[in-house]
Amino acid sequence: MAHIEQNERAYQKQPPIFENKKRLVAKKLKASEVRFVRNIGLGFKTPKEARDLPYIDKKCPFVGNVSIRGRILTGVIKSLKMKRTCTVRRDYLHFIKKYNRFEKRHKNISAHISPAFRDAAIGDKVILGQCRPLSKTVRFNVIKVAKAPGATKQFSKF
């Protein structure tokens, strides 16, 4: 595995991996001794980038210490301005009983996005998994990204 770039104030490492092992020159390392990668379950596959890229992210569900439990939501990426966090827009319909009709509503959710999804862009559909609170506003983690079908601006339910 490539050397992990240290660009934070604190030393970046994965807690389950022991880095100071005295090893023989000819002995080959196992993949489990080099990088800790987890299967989050629920039928979602671990991205290939999570296994291959040399990033450290303690809030990533694939290589960090975060479990996905609770709700699974879908939405569209609206903003990627924060570091490792995205804003996801969820559109839904609300029924008005008096007029016997629906109105469009939306909610914005902040979600942690792992460096494994480095090709995510605004407009992509994402699947979010609920996890423990990661910050003041972040309670969800991106677990799958699907590319946007086209550049059409419309209500996403239809």
Which helix (H) or strand (E) segment is 126 a member of?
strand 125-130
How far is the first Cα of the chain from the last one, in angstroms, to the nearest whole number?
Answer: 45
Q: Where are the alpha helices (DSSP H) in 2-151?
A: 31-34, 48-52
C-alpha 123: how far from chain center:
16
- Give pLDDT tens digits along the chain (158 positions): 456 667 777 777 777 776 766 666 656 666 556 777 888 888 989 988 888 888 888 899 998 889 999 999 999 999 999 999 999 999 999 999 999 999 999 999 999 999 999 899 999 999 999 999 999 999 999 999 998 776 555 665 65
Amino acid code (one letter) for 100: N
Distances (CA, A) of 106 to 89, 135, 146, 156: 7, 22, 20, 11
Q: Using the structure block, give the residue that is written with the tokens 């439990």.
A: 69
C-alpha to C-alpha distance for 112 and 132, rounded to whole angstroms: 11
